[in-house]
Every structure is written in structure tokens, then in C-alpha cells.
Amino acid sequence: MLFDGVKSMLAKRFKEKITDNDKLADAQFNAFCVDQVLHIIVLIIAASIFLLYCKDDWKTCDLEFYSVDKLILLFVGSYLCCKPSNITIKLFLEKYKIGSSLAKSDTDSSEESERKFRIQNAGHIIGSLERLLCFVSILVGHIDIIGFLIAAKSILRFKDNNAETQTEYVLVGTLMSFGMAIVIGFLTNKCMLML
């Protein structure tokens, strides 16, 4: 929470001092990256302290395979596939101005603005579900499911005849989304095997 408070104060100062949108996007992306690294460091320290001092107090679950340590890893991996990944992809797309014409603008009618807002929210939910499905498929050892998801999404996108900008936006977002889920899934799987 300390990091989030400092981040909020710095974000206000960045917005006041930086008037160039490109520099502001870079500053926000860099601040987000530093914030995430600090959060990961705190989680590693907390998990280390937990494992060092509290592990013997916790019993394993009724399931033979899953201990509390593994359940915590599953939870952290699942969480990383959702909100932090959404924010990372959003900031990356904003930084490199991919799909910038799809953003809401002041000249949009209220109906057009509402449509763009709904599409953006649907994209967040779809992306989170895709990443969770990839994550689970890696954990259960069925990586072929990822190919099925990519093929299914490609078929749905093929029917959609939207502008080139939106196609690039969806393609970059999808590749980042699947890439992040694959990395998180393999790292979680590797950590679970080490326990």
C-alpha cells in the first residue's frame, strides 16, 4: 500500500509537470514497471518469511498433490494473469500508440464513446479469460489447448472486417496476452515442481 500511495503522489506530479503526451506515457509506463518490480520483491520477501517461520504450522490440504505453498503459487499465477497483465498490455499499447485511433476522443458522440468503452471492457475480460485458460492448460500439461484458443480467436477475427488499426491493436494485444500467460504458466509450473 505504501508503494501505491507513493505512486499516486508521483502520478499527480507527473501529470502537472509533463505536458507532452509521449513523455507522460513513457513516464507512466516506467513508473508502472518499477511499481510492479517493487511489488514482486515484497511478495518474494513475504513468501520467504512465511516459508521460513510459518510453514510447519500449516498442514497440507486433503488433496495429495497440493500443499498450501502450491495453492499460494496457483493463486499468485492466476492473479498475475488478470489485472497486472491487463495494465501492462494497456500501457504498452499506449506507449507505442498501437490502436490510438480506437481511444475515446472529445469529438466522439456519446453513443460512440459508450461503444468504445464497452469494447475496451470486453477486451479486458476476454484477455483475462484467455490468459487464465492458457495458464491452466500449461499447468495441466495440455499446451495444445493454446493452439486451439489462438485458432478460435483467428476465426472470429477473420469474420470481422474492421479497420487495419483495430486489427493491429488486437493482434499485438493477443500476442502479448498469450505470451504473458505462457511465461506465467511455465514459471508457476517450474516453481511448483521445485516445492
Residues 183-191, mean pLDDT to the nearest whole number: 94
Using an 8 Å Cβ cutoff, are 175 and 167 in contact? no
Torsion of CA 160, 166, 167, 170, to 10 degrees: -100
User: 32 Cβ partners below 8 Å, 6+ apart?
Assistant: 87, 88, 91
Using an 8 Å Cβ cutoff, are 191 and 73 in contact? yes
Task: Note the pLDDT of residue 110.
Answer: 72
Task: Note the pLDDT of residue 29.
Answer: 79
Using an 8 Å Cβ cutoff, are 195 and 128 in contact? no
Alpha helices in 50-163 (DSSP H): 68-80, 83-95, 110-139, 144-159
Q: What does the alpha-carbon distance between residue 69 and residue 59 come to, in Å, rounded to a whole number?
A: 10
Nearest to 133 by CA among 78, 89, 76, 73: 78
Task: Note the pLDDT of residue 107.
Answer: 61
How deeply is 52 buried, as exposed, middle or buried, from its count of CB atoms within 10 A (0-12, 13-18, 19+)? exposed
Higher pLDDT: 20 or 192? It is: 192
Domain boundaries, the chain: 1-57, 74-102+109-195
Residues 147-174, mean pLDDT to the nearest whole number: 76
Q: How many angstroms from the chain centroid is the CA of residue 144?
A: 22
Residues 128-133, mean pLDDT to the nearest whole number: 93
Per-residue pLDDT of 41-68, as tens digits, reads 887 787 777 767 666 555 544 445 557 7
